Chain A
Amino acid sequence: MHHKFRPRRLARAALTVALAASALVVAACSPYPNSVFHPRTDTNRDVGFLFEILIWFGSIVFVVVEAILIYTLVRFRRRGVARQPEHVHGNTTLEITWTIVPAVILVFIAIPTVRTIFRTQSKGRSDALQVEVIGHQWWWEFRYPQFTKRSPTGKLDTVVTANELYLPKGRTVNFTLKSQDVIHSFWVPALAGKRDLIANHTNYLWFTPDSAGTTAYNGFCVEYCGASHANMRFRTFVVTPDEFQSWIAYQATPAAFVLPTPGQAVANNAAAVAQNPQLAQSQVPSNAQVAPQRNLGGNPAVGHAAGANAPTVPSAGPPGAGVPVAPALSTTPPTSQAGFIAFPRERMPSYTVPTTPTPADVRFDDLYGDPARGADLMAKGKGACLGCHTIRGNPSMIGQIGPNLTHVGSRTTIAAGLFPNDTRHLTLWIKNARKMKPGVLMPTIGLNEYDPQLGATVKIGLTDQQIADVVAYLQALK
């Protein structure tokens, strides 16, 4: 790559700009970001060829039928004194003709159809990237079983993430699809057709995202699965193989922010540091260095300013002064120092940014959140987060019901693509998820908040300050 010969940062910036520009061009050329006609994978090119046949034949049949019909209507409309039409009861030759012609057309459709069926449903390549997709009401769990290792405690740790799927460009991906509850269906229209996720069944799907640049695509649940079916979405990031390696290595590490007190956690973290020295500077805080972060209820711009006060990319400042509390709207891509942590937000096409309005009756005042305090609260079971969520490297957070939060701070959206992952939305989400997403299993946690599912006010919950602390902690989990 050309960046060998240039200052690294400059190359990265140039690359970023180029990609952003090309993404813009692509976006401008195609106002239909979720179109099924994007030839971004081998599968979609095969299907696109089929579509071409279907649309051509369909259009020809349509034009011919409607033309004959309209001609008939015009030519044989009653004019003046009606004549007595000849009573024709049928015509065998004609009727045989319009039986055979459609049959022949169907042969031309059926042959490529059957060929495509067998090509797209053949056995996946053995060297493919394996991804396990597990559907939940209403979020997606993505597991990468080829990236499993034994943790110091002897537990098998597989790279697992939620609602964000990273795929390396040019490599076949073999999906194994399962459901934890009702039937869901996995669909990234720009990449391939859909496949259902069914409890007590295992489904398979493969494709190779092998063309165009690297970008982000929307994914949807397309089998009706209950109240928040519309809110069960995900983002798929097709990245370069290098970026993917960097990303998955980082995802394999324990949480970036740990409480220094429990020995176990420190040990975990040490392992992470040993594996990825770059993280050593940036991700391991000492208790004393944790700076409070300004948390805000309404205005993301304030968050940005606060981020400027406390440098968000730690190693950009002097070593040791780093604070792991990157606010959501960091302008410096985390890729610049610590490898490819996440798909950079400025490269996110606009169609991947949710526009969901927030409920008017959930409010939040500006408060400073302390991530250490937030971590402590969660470890103590406040807000009952640990009942459902896992944060690898945090020994008290081992819940299995909800999304894995180990690197939640690096994700672009929350609540299965429903809201951007910024301070305001995360805060409101933790305060009253049930007003934010119909039917959601995550309880309303804010003290004295109304839980619409229980029809009652929460009496044991987190205060606004506690929520701000928890949010600060979660955002630190890059």
Chain B
Amino acid sequence: MATTATAPAYTHAGSEAESGLWSWLTTVDHKRIAALYLGTSLFWFLVGGLEASIIRLQLMFPNGRVVSAEMFNELFTMHGTTMIFLVVMPLSAAFFNLLIPLQIGARDVAFPRLNAFSYWVYLFGSIFLNVSWFVGSAPDGGWFGYTPLTTLAYSKNLNIDFWMLGLQILGVSSLAAGFNFITTIVNMRAPGMYFMRMPIFTWMAFITQFLIVLAFPVITIALVFLQFDRFFGTNFYEIAQGGDPLLWQHLFWIFGHPEVYILILPAFGLVSEVLPTFSRKPLFGYPVMVYSGMLIAFLGFGVWAHHMFAVGMGPIADTVFGVTTMLIAIPTGVKIFNWIFTMWGGVLRFTTAMKFAITLVALFTIGGISGVMHASPPADLQQTDTYFVVAHFHYVLVAGSMMGLFAGVYYYYPKFTGRLLDERLGSWHFWLFFIGVNLTFFPMHFSGLYGMPRRIYRYDAGQGWETFNLLSSIGVGFQILGVVIGFWNFWRSRKSGEVAGNDPWGAPTLEWSIPSPPPDYNFAHVPRVTSRYPLWDVKTPHPEPPPQRASVSPRESPRRLPTAKDLGIPMPNPSIKPLFVALFMTLMFASLIAIHKDRVQLAVVLVIVFATALTASLYGWLLTPLEDEH
């Protein structure tokens, strides 16, 4: 190993000059883009959480009157859309950005400026989607946007326009990032980093990118049909003209079910990094973990119609989709047991990251079991579109994805910032969130099986649902407390947290061999990899976490690291052009809104203007070399 594992804290050369606003707008450094993704997605997490809190306030008691029916519909639509597209996916992307190059021993991603573009498209797309609140037309068709409710005949205002254009914009971001990461992983692995030596997070990220590039084109097509229907009067879904509402459902779920795995596999990957480190044992059954991830992803494309048992597809289709769905339980179950046996025989340290990771294992099991219950079509017909389903997918996405992602935040925060999060605050964050999640979502199993439909803004008294709804709403209070403490921890520790050093946890993978935060070039010398756990091979035996953690106090003047220039490493130049391209693309899509307002000429003019600006900035981007000429 070229860099030693005991490097103390340091600062980047000339870090003041590099920390201004302009440096963030023009950055192409994957670690800074990761930080941008992290900050932005955590902000939207608060927004999505606020939306959920209002929903729970409305449903706390029968006949709630906190918000109107229309507002409630906007809230649950935007809660789902926000949490899926603006929180879990980009929060995962923050880890892809930070970790993929570090874990494979690369200096950056394959296309650094495309990476910046992906982020800016995400940011502008998320803003566009939420601008709808301020013009009083937030999307209200559900995150699934079923036609014909979302066609012009039944949704005459701008609500759905914001939603479909916003999703289209965000899709560009995901696709660009997907191709970027696939290229990075295929081409930029350090010498000796064979596929079967790749850290398991990078493996899960790799599989996720394939899901993204295969699933997003399908929703893109579905959305293009919807845009043509709404803007140009075509009849893909218009029922009065013989359009087929089920075309949308099939296309949406062919995207929508793989999307579920896009949301959970990165969290699985993070947990598979955290559990071995704090058990001081390698991941149990690494090859099986890789194959089960692939199998889950592969099967994920063959089960979409289990979201549609109620549409009446007939017994043959019900049987096929029911059985394929059950099959997914097998690789998922394998993962659960492999995680448990990773800990078996280990020396377990219950850090906050570890607590979140264990919770994913414990609670995802509940979501998995209720998932098998949905896989049985006759039983599903009694469950679907009730709160039982709401309970199921929140156990998957909150108790699963979010727990895993929080584990990732606590585990990798030192790599982002060079400082540790406070473990005491972390413990409060964990326990309050843990209690809150279970108190909120477990009673929903009951309200669902006792007949409470989803997406209702009010319910009558005396239906047997009062207790469960009250408990669910109280649970949200615990979640809010936990999240507030956690976010305070995230905010405060970036300045005042304990200095982490290279490897505060005694972890086995490559990213912990370099300083925290890493210098812009990551690795002074490209590492040569000889095993799955290079750092453990170097440091064995390692009875205790490495001692350097406490050896440097924040007050000590940090060592100055050599710059890329000192080392003669060519680095990509910062560029504002990806931001411009992203901005003009978003504005181009947004201009289509004018069509709905019967300002077709204005729309045409705006689209031409922004398309021209987009093309010009894209040319500027392409004509500027990535690195300085030598």
Interface residues of A (CB under 8 A from B): 31-37, 44, 46-47, 50-51, 54-55, 57-58, 61-62, 65-66, 68-69, 72-73, 76-78, 81-91, 94-95, 98-99, 102-103, 106, 109-110, 113-114, 116-118, 120-122, 137, 177, 181-183, 185, 187, 189-190, 192-196, 198-201, 203-204, 218, 220-231, 350-351, 353-357, 438-439
Stretch at the interface among B184-192, B308-316, B434-442, B471-479: B308-316
Residues of chain A contacted by B333 (CB below 8 angstroms): 98-99, 102
A91 CA to B153 CA, complexed, in Å: 59
Chain B nearest Cβ from A103, distance in angstroms:
6
Residues of chain A contacted by B311 (CB below 8 angstroms): 196, 198, 201, 203
Cβ–Cβ contact A37 & B449, under 8 A: yes
Residues of chain A contacted by B327 (CB below 8 angstroms): 106
A137 CA to B155 CA, complexed, in Å: 13
Closest A residue to B349 using CB positions: A78
B379's partner among A50, A61, A103 (CB-CB below 8 A) is A50
Residues of chain A contacted by B318 (CB below 8 angstroms): 117, 121
Residues of chain A contacted by B365 (CB below 8 angstroms): 61-62, 65-66
Known contacts A90-B287, A95-B338, A350-B462; decide if A76 and B344 are in contact (CB<8 Å).
yes
Cβ–Cβ contact B361 & A69, under 8 A: yes
Cβ–Cβ contact B378 & A87, under 8 A: no
Cβ–Cβ contact A113 & B378, under 8 A: yes
**Residue B385 lies at the interface, judged by CB distance under 8 Å to chain A:** yes
Cβ–Cβ contact B451 & A32, under 8 A: yes
Contact with A along B109-145 (1 / 0, CB 8 A): 0000000000000000000000000000000001000
Known contacts A76-B279, A99-B334; decide if A183 and B245 are in contact (CB<8 Å).
yes
Interface residues of B (CB under 8 A from A): 62-63, 65, 68-70, 73, 142, 146, 148-149, 153-154, 239, 242-246, 279-282, 284-288, 310-312, 314-315, 318-319, 322-323, 326-327, 329-330, 333-334, 336-338, 340-341, 343-350, 358, 361-362, 365-366, 369-370, 372-373, 375-386, 449-464, 536, 541-544
A354 CA to B329 CA, complexed, in Å: 42
Residues of chain A contacted by B347 (CB below 8 angstroms): 76, 78, 82-85
Residues of chain B contacted by A222 (CB below 8 angstroms): 310, 384-386, 453-454
17 A-B residue contacts at CB 8 Å?
A: A33-B464, A36-B382, A81-B543, A90-B288, A90-B338, A98-B334, A102-B333, A109-B372, A110-B323, A117-B378, A182-B149, A187-B453, A193-B310, A198-B311, A223-B310, A227-B69, A357-B63
Chain B nearest Cβ from A31, distance in angstroms:
5
B149's partner among A58, A224, A357 (CB-CB below 8 A) is A224
Cβ–Cβ contact A117 & B379, under 8 A: no
Residues of chain A contacted by B282 (CB below 8 angstroms): 87-89
A36 CA to B385 CA, complexed, in Å: 13
Most interface-central of B149, B358, B459 (chain A CB within 10 A): B149
Chain B nearest Cβ from A230, distance in angstroms:
3
A390 CA to B361 CA, complexed, in Å: 59
A32 CA to B453 CA, complexed, in Å: 14
A251 CA to B375 CA, complexed, in Å: 42
Residues of chain A contacted by B65 (CB below 8 angstroms): 357
Instruction: Give 8 nearest A-B pairs by CB, closest first.
Output: A34-B451, A193-B381, A230-B456, A438-B69, A32-B464, A90-B285, A199-B239, A222-B385
Known contacts A200-B242, A224-B149, A227-B70; decide if A82 and B154 are in contact (CB<8 Å).
no
Cβ–Cβ contact B314 & A54, under 8 A: no
Cβ–Cβ contact A218 & B329, under 8 A: no
Cβ–Cβ contact B154 & A34, under 8 A: no
Cβ–Cβ contact A195 & B544, under 8 A: no
Task: Known A-B contacts: A94-B337, A226-B149. Give 6 more (CB < 8 A).
Answer: A68-B340, A89-B284, A90-B285, A106-B326, A113-B322, A220-B453
Known contacts A90-B288, A196-B311; decide if A181 and B154 are in contact (CB<8 Å).
yes
A110 CA to B324 CA, complexed, in Å: 10
A117 CA to B457 CA, complexed, in Å: 33
Residues of chain B contacted by A57 (CB below 8 angstroms): 372
Residues of chain A contacted by B153 (CB below 8 angstroms): 181
Residues of chain A contacted by B346 (CB below 8 angstroms): 76, 85
A438 CA to B384 CA, complexed, in Å: 25
Residues of chain B contacted by A122 (CB below 8 angstroms): 315
A85 CA to B340 CA, complexed, in Å: 15
Cβ–Cβ contact A72 & B343, under 8 A: yes
Chain A nearest Cβ from B325, distance in angstroms:
10
Cβ–Cβ contact A109 & B326, under 8 A: yes
A232 CA to B312 CA, complexed, in Å: 21
Known contacts A51-B379, A76-B345, A89-B284; decide if A354 and B460 are in contact (CB<8 Å).
yes
Cβ–Cβ contact B372 & A54, under 8 A: yes
Chain A nearest Cβ from B339, distance in angstroms:
9
Residues of chain A contacted by B315 (CB below 8 angstroms): 117-118, 121-122
Closest A residue to B377 using CB positions: A117
Chain B nearest Cβ from A412, distance in angstroms:
14
A87 CA to B329 CA, complexed, in Å: 28
Residues of chain B contacted by A33 (CB below 8 angstroms): 451, 462-464
Closest B residue to A188 using CB positions: B451
Chain A nearest Cβ from B63, distance in angstroms:
6
Cβ–Cβ contact B281 & A88, under 8 A: yes
Residues of chain B contacted by A218 (CB below 8 angstroms): 451, 463
Residues of chain A contacted by B361 (CB below 8 angstroms): 69
A120 CA to B380 CA, complexed, in Å: 13
Chain B nearest Cβ from A179, distance in angstroms:
8
Cβ–Cβ contact B314 & A58, under 8 A: no
Most interface-central of A46, A91, A113, A185 (chain B CB within 10 A): A113
Residues of chain B contacted by A62 (CB below 8 angstroms): 365-366, 369
A227 CA to B372 CA, complexed, in Å: 32
Closest A residue to B385 using CB positions: A222
Chain B nearest Cβ from A203, distance in angstroms:
4
A113's partner among B376, B382, B542 (CB-CB below 8 A) is B376
Cβ–Cβ contact A220 & B451, under 8 A: yes
Chain B nearest Cβ from A261, distance in angstroms:
40
Residues of chain A contacted by B375 (CB below 8 angstroms): 109, 113
Cβ–Cβ contact B385 & A194, under 8 A: yes
Residues of chain A contacted by B244 (CB below 8 angstroms): 200
Known contacts A58-B369, A78-B347, A106-B327; decide if A91 and B63 are in contact (CB<8 Å).
no
Residues of chain A contacted by B343 (CB below 8 angstroms): 72-73, 76
Residues of chain B contacted by A227 (CB below 8 angstroms): 69-70, 73
A382 CA to B69 CA, complexed, in Å: 30
A34's partner among B384, B458, B463, B544 (CB-CB below 8 A) is B463
Closest B residue to A200 using CB positions: B239
Residues of chain A contacted by B373 (CB below 8 angstroms): 54-55, 58
B450's partner among A32, A46, A198 (CB-CB below 8 A) is A32
Chain B nearest Cβ from A87, distance in angstroms:
5
Residues of chain A contacted by B73 (CB below 8 angstroms): 224, 226-227, 229
A228 CA to B456 CA, complexed, in Å: 8
A194's partner among B246, B330, B384, B449 (CB-CB below 8 A) is B384
Chain A nearest Cβ from B393, distance in angstroms:
15
Cβ–Cβ contact B284 & A438, under 8 A: no
Known contacts A73-B348, A95-B288; decide if A46 and B462 are in contact (CB<8 Å).
no
Known contacts A54-B376, A78-B347, A195-B312; decide if A201 and B246 are in contact (CB<8 Å).
yes
Residues of chain B contacted by A73 (CB below 8 angstroms): 343, 348, 358
Residues of chain A contacted by B344 (CB below 8 angstroms): 72, 76
Known contacts A117-B315, A355-B63; decide if A194 and B369 are in contact (CB<8 Å).
no
Cβ–Cβ contact A230 & B458, under 8 A: yes
Cβ–Cβ contact A99 & B330, under 8 A: yes
Closest B residue to A83 using CB positions: B347
Closest B residue to A233 using CB positions: B460
B462's partner among A102, A223, A355 (CB-CB below 8 A) is A355
Chain B nearest Cβ from A284, distance in angstroms:
37
A177 CA to B366 CA, complexed, in Å: 35
Residues of chain B contacted by A224 (CB below 8 angstroms): 73, 142, 146, 149, 385, 454-455
Cβ–Cβ contact B379 & A69, under 8 A: no
Chain A nearest Cβ from B119, distance in angstroms:
33
Known contacts A82-B347, A113-B322; decide if A34 and B452 are in contact (CB<8 Å).
yes
